[in-house]
């Protein structure tokens, strides 16, 4: 059947623009489209926040474990951690314990104190890992000199 006759058999909406492509909106059209989409997402977020709050209230009413929100949109279940220090049993926890008992220490002394304190590891470059961890622990550890640290 010729192409012209097929169009008349199916008189549905015809695509705008050339070859079925949508017409170009321009910058103003794109901005308004994005603004509408943003408004829709905000409305959805408000609805979801209301549902989440209702679920939190229901969970706390029956004594269930609270759910805490963290950045990135992922929720963790359980008790919130204390902001006061590193996670118990971590390398940073062992480093902090070694520094509290030893005063000013060099990285190699901290490494041996961590191992003698019972930190189980198969790390062949533990001293390097200790140095990296010390650099990340600025709230708990003070650098005294080159390669020498003490607990705050």
* Domain shared by 48 and 70, yes or no: yes
- 124: its two tokens: 């062949």
Query: What pLDDT, in 10s, does the model give residues 11-56?
Result: 556 655 556 556 666 788 888 888 899 889 888 988 888 888 888 8
User: In this structure, what CATH number is given to the domain that contains residue 106?
Assistant: 1.10.10
Q: How many domains does the chain have?
A: 2
- What DSSP state is assigned to residue 12? -
CB 44 within 8 A of CB 52: no
Looking at residues 133-152, what average pLDDT do you find? 91
| pTM of structure | 0.47
Position 76 confidence tier, pLDDT thresholds 50, 70, 90? low
Task: Write down the mean pLDDT value for the chain.
Answer: 80
| Burial (0-12, 13-18, 19+ Cβ within 10 Å), 8 | exposed
* Domain shared by 72 and 107, yes or no: no
CA 29 to chain centre: 34
Q: Does any domain span residue 124? A: yes
From CA 149, how far away is CA 105, in angstroms rounded? 5
In the chain, pLDDT over 70 holds for what percent of residues?
70
Position 102 confidence tier, pLDDT thresholds 50, 70, 90? confident
Q: Does any domain span residue 5? A: no
Q: Does any domain span residue 6? A: no
| Owning domain of residue 128 | 91-151
């Amino acid at each position: 059947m010729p192409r012209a006759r097929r169009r008349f058999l199916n008189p549905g909406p015809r695509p705008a623009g050339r070859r079925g492509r949508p017409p170009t909106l321009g910058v103003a059209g794109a901005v308004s489209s994005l603004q509408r989409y943003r408004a829709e997402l905000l409305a959805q977020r408000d609805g979801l926040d209301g549902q989440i709050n209702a679920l939190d209230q229901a969970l706390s009413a029956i004594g269930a474990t609270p759910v805490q929100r963290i950045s990135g949109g992922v929720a963790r279940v359980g008790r919130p951690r204390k902001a006061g220090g590193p996670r118990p049993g971590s390398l940073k926890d062992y480093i902090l314990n070694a520094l509290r008992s030893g005063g000013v220490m060099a990285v190699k002394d901290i490494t041996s104190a961590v191992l003698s304190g019972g930190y189980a590891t198969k790390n062949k470059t533990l001293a390097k890992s200790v140095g990296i961890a010390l650099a990340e622990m600025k709230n708990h550890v003070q650098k005294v000199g080159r390669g020498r640290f003490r607990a705050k």
